[in-house]
Chain A
Amino acid sequence: MAQTLYGASISEQAPTQTRSLSSIMNLRLALGLSVLLGTIIFFVAVSWDIQWHSYIGRDRTLIPPHVMILCGVAISGLAALAVVLIETIGVRHAPSLARYSSAFVGGFSGPLGAYIAGFGALNTAIAFVLDSYWHALYGIDVAIWAPFHVMMLVGMVITGLGAAYMLVSVARIAEQIGKRGKMRAGYIGACAAFSAIITILPILIIDSLNNPQGYIALPGMKLNDFPALAGLACTWVLVAAVSAIPWRWVASMVSGITILIVLIMATFVPWAMDFLMAEEHLSYRAVASTRLDPHLPIIAVEWPLTATFLAAVLIDLVIVVARRKGWSQRRLTLTLACVALPVCVPLMPIIPGLVLGIGQVTGGVGLLLSMALGLLGTLLGSWFGHHVGEAMRTGR
């Protein structure tokens, strides 16, 4: 049986067409990895920025962590723009390649992931500018849950998603034209893109634990937002990964790469802080005495999604069983939602009993209801994740 790609039989493809396809694959791989690199740089820079704000204070607009954030955004945005422009030119020269790209406004051609990544990077760039205005209006010590912080972080989550789309499309093209090495590179890159998304999620949702806004007051009790938000976001990402990448132990691999990225960040941030403080003759703020040792990277030691690693292994085990026994999609979605429940339990390396502290605020019933909302989150995340992963696997 002839292999098919986007509806075209590979055996029907002329050698020139295969060469063009190979060029598109290489372009998407190089620039998809660049988008991913920009996303990882963004995560490391934001972690450094949070450390800087906590122990030194937000001072100039263009402090080094902010410059690094902008570099990450620029790398991602320019890589996404480049892939669209180059593929557009390629498709104009060889119109038969149009079937492998997504058209935009009639004139542009490119992988769907590049449009998504470009949209995300542009959002983050706009948010950076607006955030400076926001700080100028409302002061420096605004929470992470401020409008343009959320916009910036969501923008880079979208950019990471774009990188995952691009790299899965690389793996699919490589698989079909028999380039096994490129296929592996594409899938491993896609795993790293999902990991990059997971690294940004704790920053996005940590205020549900640190901030009064993280609690919903009901008569006689309080609910905490963390289980629902973590359940929805983490399950979405992990299930999308296992649906898009046809390998075993994908969720565990995504978790492993996440740990690696966090370790890189945890090594870089204290060194960068000490180096720059010496260069700029700065000292730690007085408030520092009430917090952790300034040499400990806050984002790493206050990582609230530690339980995600357990959920990832459980998700992989369920996938193995489901494939072996041929489960229906509905049964798989429900089971994945149940085994993903550990992500709803906030667990920090330095505060393993954090959930008990939340229970003291919410009360026993409030905590149970918060976890029930978490189950709703994992259910939605499992459903969304399956469909987004499938669309990634079959799309352009």
Chain B
Amino acid sequence: MIKMLQRILLVLGVLALLGVLLEIGVALAATLPNGTPARVVQVQAGPYPLKVSLYKDPANAGYALPFAIAPEQARTGTLQFAVSSLPGHGVDATPIQGSFSQDATGGIQGVVEITVRGTWNLHIVVDGPAGQGVADVPVQAIAPLTFPDWSGWLIGLAPLVGLLVFALLQCRNNMAVLVAKQVSTQ
């Protein structure tokens, strides 16, 4: 019986560990642009027309969203970019700065994180020879996994229950040892 319980615990533990490793792999994979963009948007950031490519649409909340921004006009000077994700109205989140690198065409490629499901804006600020320009690209984020409040608590309290059961078993074993000692001394 105890060995069977131990086997179940071992299998659950190995599965959980594999799940954690898989999740880490998925989170890392999400930071890489995968082939063709899922959505391409033309925007005007002040005097600069830009082509914004989003590699996941809708975005997955809790994961990085890969993007690329390319200037649509011939370059007359270097453009400096600042990209962040801004939560829309009613989304309980804070703005997050994106990280990116400049490519040879004068555009950028990078990732920005979308932390909470709902409506967000990809906020782009461009500085160049013609001054500063700003553009916002709306992004919809969905949660990849949904579970209700009660199921969260059911899972979340499992280790606490495990701790209490373990402590009770330790008490039972300890009392059994004490009883055995008393019997042997008598």
Q: Taking beta carbons and an 8 Å cutoff, which residues of A are in contact with B?
A: 56-61, 104-106, 116, 118-120, 122-123, 125-127, 129-130, 132-141, 146-151, 154-155, 157-158, 161, 236, 280-281, 285, 383-384, 387-388, 390-391, 394
Contacts and interface: CB of A to CB of B under 8 A. Distances in A.
Nearest to A156: B159
A349 to B, nearest CB: 28
Interface of B: 3, 6-7, 10, 13, 16-17, 19-20, 23, 27, 61-63, 91-97, 113, 115-117, 141, 143-147, 149, 152-153, 155-160, 162-163, 166-167, 170-171, 173-175, 177
Given A61-B27, A147-B155, 7 more contacts: A104-B10, A122-B13, A136-B61, A136-B115, A137-B146, A139-B91, A236-B167
Nearest to A107: B10
Nearest to B28: A62
B93 A140 contact: yes
Given A126-B16, A140-B94, A158 B163 contact: yes
Contacts of B7: 105
A147 B16 contact: no
B156 A135 contact: no
Nearest to B145: A133
A140 B17 CA distance: 26
A137 B61 CA distance: 8
Contact of B156 (A139, A147, A285): A147
29 contacts: A58-B115, A59-B97, A61-B27, A104-B10, A105-B6, A105-B7, A106-B3, A119-B159, A123-B159, A125-B17, A133-B62, A133-B143, A133-B145, A135-B62, A137-B61, A137-B143, A139-B93, A140-B93, A148-B152, A148-B155, A150-B156, A151-B155, A281-B97, A384-B171, A387-B170, A387-B174, A388-B171, A390-B174, A394-B177
Given A133-B144, A136-B115, A154 B163 contact: yes
B23 A129 contact: yes
A146 to B, nearest CB: 8
A354 B116 CA distance: 35
Given A106-B3, A129-B23, A135 B115 contact: yes
A136 B116 contact: yes
Given A136-B117, A388-B170, A119 B162 contact: yes
Nearest to A285: B94
B116 A139 contact: yes
A388 B10 CA distance: 24
Nearest to B63: A61
A387 to B, nearest CB: 4
A136 B171 contact: no
A104 B11 CA distance: 12
Contacts of A120: 159
Please give me the 3 A-B residue pairs with the lowest Cβ-Cβ distance, nearest first.
A139-B92, A147-B156, A57-B94
Contacts of B115: 58-61, 135-136, 140
Given A154-B159, A158-B159, A61 B177 contact: no
A105 B10 contact: yes
Contacts of B143: 133, 136-137
B171 A387 contact: yes
A122 B173 contact: no
A140 B62 contact: no
Contacts of A59: 94-97, 113, 115
A155 to B, nearest CB: 5
Nearest to B170: A391
Quick one: which of A58, A127, A147, A236 has the most chain B CB within 10 A?
A147
In this complex, the member of A56, A104, A149 whose beta carbon has the largest number of chain B beta carbons within 10 angstroms is A104
A300 B157 CA distance: 26
Contacts of A141: 92
A140 B149 CA distance: 15
Contacts of A105: 3, 6-7, 10
A129 B19 CA distance: 9
A158 B162 CA distance: 10
A140 B13 contact: no
A146 B159 CA distance: 14
Given A122-B16, A147-B152, A60 B96 contact: yes
A140 B116 contact: yes
A140 B91 CA distance: 9
Nearest to A70: B24
Nearest to B94: A57
Most chain A beta-carbon contacts within 10 A, residue among B93, B96, B141:
B93
B9 to A, nearest CB: 8
Contact of B152 (A58, A132, A134, A383): A134
Given A61-B113, A148-B156, A157 B16 contact: no
A391 B173 contact: yes
A80 B155 CA distance: 23
A105 B2 CA distance: 9
B108 to A, nearest CB: 17
